[in-house]
A and B are shown apart, each in its own frame.
Chain A
Amino acid sequence: MFVKIDNEGDKYDVAVSGRIDTTNADQFQKDIAPLMECGKCDIVMDCTELEYTSSQGLRMFLMLQKSVNQRGGTLELRNMRPQVKEVFDITGFSSIIRIV
Chain B
Amino acid sequence: MKRNIEDYGLDLHCNMILEEYREQSHVFAKIRDVVLDSLRKAIDERGLFITAVEGRVKAEESLVGKLELKGYKYAALSDITDIVGTRVVTFYTDDVDKVAVIAENLFEIDWQNSVDKRKMHELDSFGYMSLHYICRIPKSLYYDPDNPRINEYRFEVQLRTTLQHMWAVMHHDIGYKSGVEVPKEHLRNLNRLAGVLELADDEFSRLRTSINDYRRRVKELVSNGNFSEVSLNGDTFRSYLNLRPFDNLNRRIAAINQAEIHETTLMPYLAVFKYLHFETLADIDNLIKTESDDAFQLAVYQIGDTDIDIIASNVAVLNLCVVYMLRKGAGIEELTELFESLNGPSDYNRIRASRIIEKSSKLSFSKK
Q: Report A's interface with B, CB cutoff 8 A.
A: 54-55, 58-59, 62, 80, 82, 85-87, 89-96, 98-100
User: Given A54-B307, A55-B309, are A95 and B268 also a contact pair (CB < 8 Å)?
Assistant: yes
| Residues in A neighbouring B242, C-beta threshold 8 A | none
CB closest residue in chain B, given A80 = B348
A58 and B351: CB pair below 8 A? no
CA distance A89 to B318 in the complex (A): 10
A interface: dominant SS: helix
Compute the total of residue contacts between A and B using a CB distance below 8 Å: 63
Q: Report B's interface with A, CB cutoff 8 A.
A: 259, 262, 264, 268, 299, 302-303, 306-315, 318, 339, 342-344, 346, 348, 351-352, 355
A82 and B351: CB pair below 8 A? yes
What distance in Å separates the Cβ of B350 from its nearest Cβ neighbour in chain A? 12
CA distance A89 to B30 in the complex (A): 60
User: Given A54-B307, A89-B352, are A96 and B346 also a contact pair (CB < 8 Å)?
Assistant: no
A58 and B355: CB pair below 8 A? no
Name the residue in B259, B307, B343 with the highest tally of chain A Cβ atoms < 10 Å from its Cβ.
Answer: B343
| Residues in B neighbouring A99, C-beta threshold 8 A | 343, 346, 348
For the complex with contacts A54-B308, A99-B343, A100-B346, 13 further pairs of A-B residues with Cβ separation under 8 Å are A55-B307, A62-B262, A85-B351, A85-B352, A90-B306, A90-B308, A91-B311, A92-B264, A95-B268, A95-B318, A96-B312, A96-B314, A98-B344
CA distance A54 to B311 in the complex (A): 12
User: Given A80-B348, A99-B348, are A58 and B264 also a contact pair (CB < 8 Å)?
Assistant: no
Closest A-B pairs by Cβ, 8 of them: A92-B312, A90-B302, A92-B315, A92-B314, A55-B310, A55-B309, A91-B311, A95-B342
> Looking at the complex, which one of A80, A82, A87, A91 makes contact with B312 (CB distance below 8 Å)?
A91
CA distance A55 to B258 in the complex (A): 12
CB closest residue in chain B, given A95 = B342
B interface: dominant SS: mixed
CB closest residue in chain B, given A93 = B312
User: Given A87-B308, A99-B348, are A92 and B303 also a contact pair (CB < 8 Å)?
Assistant: no
Name the residue in B310, B313, B342, B355 with the highest tally of chain A Cβ atoms < 10 Å from its Cβ.
Answer: B310
CB closest residue in chain A, given B269 = A95
CA distance A90 to B322 in the complex (A): 12
What distance in Å separates the Cβ of A36 from its nearest Cβ neighbour in chain B? 18
CB closest residue in chain B, given A89 = B352
B303 and A91: CB pair below 8 A? yes
CA distance A72 to B268 in the complex (A): 21
CB closest residue in chain A, given B347 = A100
CA distance A59 to B260 in the complex (A): 11
What distance in Å separates the Cβ of A49 from its nearest Cβ neighbour in chain B? 17
CA distance A80 to B346 in the complex (A): 12
A91 and B310: CB pair below 8 A? yes
CA distance A93 to B346 in the complex (A): 15
What distance in Å separates the Cβ of A18 from its nearest Cβ neighbour in chain B? 18
B264 and A96: CB pair below 8 A? yes
CB closest residue in chain A, given B308 = A55
CB closest residue in chain A, given B317 = A92
